[in-house]
Structure 1
Amino acid sequence: MTKTRWTAEQIPDQEGRTFVVTGANSGLGYETARALAAKGARVVLTARNAERGRAALAKIRVEYPNADLELASLDLADLDSVRAFAAGLDEPVDVLVNNAGVMMPPRTLTKQGFESQFATNHLGHFALTGLLLERLRSRVVTVTSGLHRRGTIQFDDLTGSRVYSPVDAYAQSKLANVLFALELDRRFRAAGSSVVSAYAHPGYSATNLQSSGPTGLLNLLMKPANLLVAQSAEQGALPQLYAATAEDVSGGDFFGPDGLGEMRGYPKRVQPVSGATDPETARKLWEVSEELTGVSYSF
């Protein structure tokens, strides 16, 4: 990475390359899709809500009338939806950006009976990546959070049936993102694959996650924090855009903001919490994820 402040203007020409961006109807996903479209990429925007997805696509088209965009339905919390999306995607994918997520809602279970944050943020993307594995040509970028540093994987209570904290469950799912990204990189390298698994976090960026997920006191606290502390979603998307497009990205690289506490700023290489680099924990999570999703990877 260069020492200059990297912005989306420095993304190389992406014409002829296909990107799949999950959760592209708002926030970081929207800004990622928008920046890629500006550079000539073909972008498959996925959205759980069709109306919001159409609005996002139309908004990008106003700015970039010749953009090569496609909207697809995908609910990461529903493994049936993940399978349907993967089955309907009949083209190679240069870069998969695992961006979609939910943040700190009250405890709810998905259609398959999983805790919603662990299901959406980790299991859905684990399944999606595995189902698209044979079509991946270049990179997988997984979006985590600086809060992964306070996470632990509660293997004996992944649904939060005994103890549930919205913040702790979110941190767990974001730690799972890091463990997955690093284990995916190990497996790509062991298989002699040229596909790169990298990951990124946006610092503290103002998106609809802070208002749509938390309730009660958490929601009240996040509203002023978004106004006073957070950087824009456009700025927050830069680390994942760097991971997805920059030429000097290697497998296992982690990008976040360069400001104080990695809360704001421009992309730089950062380090995960030490526990996230433990291969044994990653292997166990991988095996549990294959069992829960029914998706086994074949490299």
Structure 2
Amino acid sequence: MAWSAADVPDQSGRVAVVTGANSGLGLETAKVLAARGATVVLACRDPKRAETAAKEIAAQGGSTELLALDLASLESVRAAAAELRDRHERIDLLINNAGVMVPPYGRTADGFELQLGTNHLGHFAFTGLVLDRIREVPGARIVVLASLAHQMARGGMNFEDLHSERGYNRITAYGRSKLANLLFAYELQRRLEASGAAAVALAAHPGYSSTELTRHLPRVLQPANRLLVEPFFAQPAVMGALPTLRAATDPQARGAQYYGPSGFREMRGAPEPTRSTRASHDAAAQRRLWAASEELTGVSYPV
């Protein structure tokens, strides 16, 4: 029988942090976790939209907290991590969901290419700064949201030009940021396991989900996406959130597993364990990205 939100076990007494929880996949993920009894921390860049999301969840009887987090600013990441640590002695779930997709070339407040800086480096820093609140919690999980687009990371990570200073292709850069998400998740799990931690790290992808992330698609692609791709291949955000929810809550899930939709080319359908590319399992690339991420963010992990 297909896995659904109804299979999410009781989350009472647990603290779940969801980045980018004010809309789309993050909001749908937060709704389900709150409905199952978790206290959900909505870690969002836009406070007004976060408040709207909190009211929507509260109207359904869920419990939330707001946390200001701009992943494109290490100053914001450090402040958010410090505030979260002050509030909670333990964190049961950390869902690294927020991201940007194929925008024009831009840089974060710290000079990183916008997609790599937001999708990977911001989450790398935030996770490392709160890891001691998660690491020894029984049943704790860190879920990193990847994408089918990691398959478009031509040639793998370009370590010689991580910030696309020598040339920028928005689709390739997005693919590399999503490949970075997987390299991070797998290396984090290896380190957690080697250190004897109770927490585990997993990854998920939402297939092709209809969310506002596609707003930055090049204009030439937008009509085809709106008229042909979304009506026939996309699934609503409520379905796109299921792989994340399964990775986060399925009692049978294990560290380093990767969940995605089970339908045609993994674009839609019920969530199941799946496989990522060979490039994502390159142990040398995982270690190299980890070292580069520590250097760029100034965040070292206690594992």
TM-score interval (norm. to shorter): over 0.9
Counterpart position of 2:125: 127
Of 289, 294, 300, which residue of structure 2 is paired with 1:296?
Answer: 300
Shift of 1:221: 3.4
1:47 to 2:49 alignment = no
Shift of 1:37: 0.7
Task: Provide the secondary structure at the position in 1 that maps to 2:235.
Answer: coil
1:186 to 2:184 alignment = no
Structure 1 runs of 4+ off > 6 angstroms? Answer: none
**Does the CA contact (< 8 Å) of 1:235 and 1:265 recur in 2?**
yes
**Does the CA contact (< 8 Å) of 1:210 and 1:223 recur in 2?**
no
CA offset digits 1:217-271 (Å, max 9, x no partner): 2334333333342100000000000000110111101000000111100010101
Q: Which amino acid aligns with 2:96?
A: N
1:208 to 2:205 alignment = no
Counterpart position of 1:76: 71
Q: Which amino acid aligns with 2:73?
A: D
Distance in 2 separating the partners of 1:226 and 1:208: 12
Counterpart position of 2:238: 234
Please list, as runs of the form range in 1=range in 2, the aligned pairs for 1:134-149 lying within 5 A after superposition: 134-136=132-134, 137=137, 138-149=140-151
Task: Provide the secondary structure at the position in 2 that maps to 1:30.
Answer: helix
Equivalent pairs counted in the alignment come to 293
Counterpart position of 1:116: 114
Please list, as runs of the form range in 1=range in 2, the aligned pairs for 1:1-299 lying within 5 A after superposition: 4-64=1-61, 67-89=62-84, 90=86, 91=88, 92-136=90-134, 137=137, 138-151=140-153, 152-211=156-215, 213-224=216-227, 225-299=229-303
Q: Which runs of 5+ in 1 are unaligned?
A: none
Shift of 1:157: 1.0
**Does the CA contact (< 8 Å) of 1:23 and 1:48 recur in 2?**
yes
Shift of 1:61: 1.4
- Please provide the CA RMSD for this pair: 1.0
**Does the CA contact (< 8 Å) of 2:204 and 2:247 recur in 1?**
yes
Task: Provide the secondary structure at the position in 1 that maps to 2:12.
Answer: coil
Distance in 2 separating the partners of 1:52 and 1:218: 28
Shift of 1:10: 1.0
Distance in 2 separating the partners of 1:218 and 1:86: 38
Shift of 1:71: 1.1
Distance in 2 separating the partners of 1:61 and 1:142: 26
Distance in 2 separating the partners of 1:178 and 1:108: 23
**Does the CA contact (< 8 Å) of 1:106 and 1:214 recur in 2?**
no
Q: Which runs of 5+ in 2 are unaligned?
A: none
Q: TM-score with structure 1 length normalisation?
A: 0.96
Q: 1:51 to 1:215 in 2, by over 3 A?
A: farther
CA offset digits 1:121-143 (Å, max 9, x no partner): 00001001100110012110000
Shift of 1:193: 0.9
Distance in 2 separating the partners of 1:51 and 1:228: 33
